A and B are shown apart, each in its own frame.
Chain A
Amino acid sequence: MAQPEAYISGIGQSEIGQRLTRHPLLLTLDAVKQALAEAGLTIGQIDGVSTYPGKSTGYLGFSPVGADELVDALGIRATWHQGAMEISAQLGAVAAAAMAVRTGQARHVICFRTVYEAAAIARPEDYPSSRGKTVEGFSQWFAPFNAISAACWVAQYAARHMHRYGLTREQLAQIALTDRANALRNPAALVREPLTMDQYMAARMITTPLCLYDCDRFTDASTVLIVSAGDALDEVGCTPIRIAAMAGSVERHSWDQAEWMASYATGPDLWKQTDYSVADVDTVQFYDGFSFLALSWFEALGFCPVGEGGHFIEGGRRIALDGELPFNTFGGQIGAGRLHGFGFAHEAVTQLRGQGGERQIAGDPRVAVATSGGGPLAAALLLARD
């Protein structure tokens, strides 16, 4: 018997801001209600919940709402739920939900990612960081050398790319410039000011070669995607978007022992799951918590050869909103805010449904790729409107 397919039905997003005062559970509720309304579903029809990375006790702003909590808070009778960090990457939570509906564990799964990092920094009394006096786990291999931020780890991959393949800052700039240009057409985006190449080149360095504009910013928001089973679509009122393939491969779970980031294993593995190829893709939404990660996804997924990412995006025409491969049409995390992975799938669905408004790409887009992660974290979804 053929397994039912998995689809994304309703999607929703709360206000995106910094230092918001609305409770993070209520931001999640805002996104849930929007997604339910779009799908024509009621909360009583939801029987699954999936999130990444689960409630974060070490640093509450990173993930202030867990799957257990949402089940209980919204009165959901769940036949399946999960909220784990040890999964391929942020969008691995969506992939897990797809597996749940394909195996009959649930029919309609709320997948959510709620971030509250800007608010938590502003109100540490309510959202404390309980980081201890010592570092352990994988942090012990970075923090003692003051490689505190993921920026430091990604920078080493970016610097090596420049050294080995000749990537330039002017080429890399096209990630941030495209993000920021697209964010100007997204009324919900966090950063709505133009960015020029001159501003980029003059920006202060965070950690070479990454400058201020190569990095996303702490954000408060919640994003929801409902994953529905193919045999439950008669209950869904919006255009379903099929999860045509998904992948999340890793060869070494480490930020410094691996020659390549996990994206480079994940990209080829995605195409093994489908008859679609890169030529069929109408738009890409690539994780850009740091700009270089997005550049690496172009290579990893085979849009260009490894090492050619800089040439591929040079000048920015190809990946512009009206280019041949529109990229991060909502502004990515650099423009729209650090939605932490889920924004890319949310936007892919928006574009495939033709609901992008001022930023809607031309033609009749039917196939999109959404990714999340960097370093040892990688998840890719191929989304299609049949």
Chain B
Amino acid sequence: MPRPVPRLDSDNRPFWTGGAVGELRFHRCADCGSFIHPPRPVCRVCLSDNVAPEAVAGTGVIDSYTINHQAWYPGLEVPFVIARVAIDGAPGVYLTSNIVGCPVEAVDFGDAVRVTFEQQGDIFYPLFEKTG
């Protein structure tokens, strides 16, 4: 079942297409170093507009998760895990994503995860799988 498709624009294109070169990218302020997500052309900490996308390591930690059992549209395969992943190296940035590559029961708080990209058309969906 194809995933819902984000509409690309100048702000979000680096994020949704970074997987083409294997990069998980977030906007970062060159003046104060803060990461900015969702991507916008201004730093919410210092109001600088000196902001550009930057690749992070692509690892993270599961902050919270839910095992989704409800098929929200026909054809959606369940169950699957939705997780809030704290992104390593980007303090304060979280991604809601899916944990793939393991049974849903194998997912837990604090699990270390690594990004894996799923391509669909122009979009590279950053999903996560457990490491180790």
Contacts and interface: CB of A to CB of B under 8 A. Distances in A.
B82 A207 contact: yes
Contact of B6 (A134, A151, A208): A134
B37 to A, nearest CB: 7
Nearest to B97: A145
A156 interface: yes
Interface in A136-177: 136, 138-149, 151-153, 155-157, 159-160, 163
A160 B63 contact: yes
A145 B123 CA distance: 12
A277 B66 CA distance: 36
Interface in B11-46: 12, 37-38
Contacts of A160: 63-64, 109
B96 A142 contact: yes
A146 B72 contact: yes
Interface class of chain A by DSSP: mixed
A147 B69 CA distance: 11
Contact of B80 (A146, A149, A163, A256): A146
B66 A155 contact: yes
A152 B66 contact: yes
Nearest to B37: A257
Nearest to A204: B69
A256 B70 contact: no
Contacts of A254: 38
Interface in B29-85: 37-38, 63-70, 72-73, 76, 80, 82-84
B92 interface: yes
B70 A149 contact: yes
Interface in A114-150: 133-136, 138-149
A156 B84 contact: yes
B76 to A, nearest CB: 6
B7 A156 contact: no
Contacts, number: 105
A363 B6 CA distance: 54
A254 B84 CA distance: 13
A153 B72 CA distance: 14
A278 interface: no
B5 interface: yes
A163 B109 contact: yes
A205 interface: yes
A144 B38 CA distance: 14
Contact of B4 (A146, A152, A153): A146
A206 interface: yes
Contacts of B80: 146
Interface of B: 3-7, 9, 12, 37-38, 63-70, 72-73, 76, 80, 82-84, 92-98, 109, 123, 125, 127
24 contacts: A134-B6, A134-B7, A141-B95, A143-B6, A144-B125, A145-B97, A145-B125, A145-B127, A147-B68, A148-B4, A148-B72, A152-B68, A156-B83, A156-B84, A163-B64, A205-B67, A206-B68, A206-B70, A207-B66, A254-B38, A256-B95, A257-B37, A257-B92, A257-B94
Given A152-B68, A156-B65, A256-B95, 17 more contacts: A139-B4, A140-B6, A143-B4, A144-B3, A146-B72, A147-B82, A151-B70, A155-B66, A163-B64, A206-B69, A208-B69, A209-B66, A210-B66, A256-B84, A256-B96, A257-B38, A257-B92
